[in-house]
Amino acid sequence: MVNYVWLSLILLGIFTAACKGQIDVVTQAALEGAELAVKTAFGLIAIMAFWLGIMKIAEQAGLVRALAYLVRPVVRFLFPSVPRDHPAIGAIVMNLSANILGLGNAATPMGLIAMRELQKLNPHPDRASDAMCTFLALNTACLTLIPSTIIGIRAIYGSAEPTAVVGPTILATACGMTAAVLVDRFLRSVYRARGT
């Protein structure tokens, strides 16, 4: 559906430019947009490489393991249906740890592994389990301490203070994560009361 919306917008833009006799504006905008996309992508590659390197150093130094150790009791509380030593717990912990450090791209592989492991525990493979829904809510609205991608984009475009978003990001993501957990618990209790 979204593809149709984008296609309609593009065709409407081309049609409008043609009606005004300014079709060259479309070509110019397309070339400038492509140049801007490449510039942004290269800037983000550099920043992601830097933060992934920092993450690797933190992992080697034991920081990620320490963060995972701190997050594990919360994960055990939020996922009571998952056995204590199941591989899903480790993948969930690593996914949340990467998200907390602002490395969403690095968190994605662990998120996929976590979902695959949770699916193995799912008694009804045709629908998402409670644990899968909780994980999706946490993964989508996870607390972020270092918004590295946003800092990188702000730095690329010449922000005077690219790190000024750290405080608001922590507050917003903490509120989002709290809301996600509360809504997940509320909806779970509603569905249990209905017997579904």
Residue written as token pair 């946003």: 150
Angle, alpha carbons 123-129-132 (nearest 5°)? 130
Distance of CA 146 to the CA centre of its chain: 13
| Residues sharing a CB contact under 8 Å with residue 66, sequence separation 6 or more, in sequence order | none
> For position 188, what pLDDT does the model report?
83
Phi and psi angles of residue 172, each rounded to the nearest 5 degrees, phi first: -65, -45
> For position 195, what pLDDT does the model report?
65
Dihedral, 9, 12, 18, 24 alpha carbons, nearest 10: 0
> For position 178, what pLDDT does the model report?
93
pLDDT tens for the chain, 196 residues long, are 788 998 898 889 888 888 888 888 888 888 888 888 888 887 777 777 776 777 678 768 877 677 767 777 888 888 888 887 788 888 888 888 888 877 777 778 888 889 999 999 988 888 888 899 999 998 888 888 888 778 878 888 888 998 899 999 999 999 999 999 999 889 888 877 776 5
**Domain parsing of the chain, residue ranges:** 43-194
Q: pTM here? A: 0.67
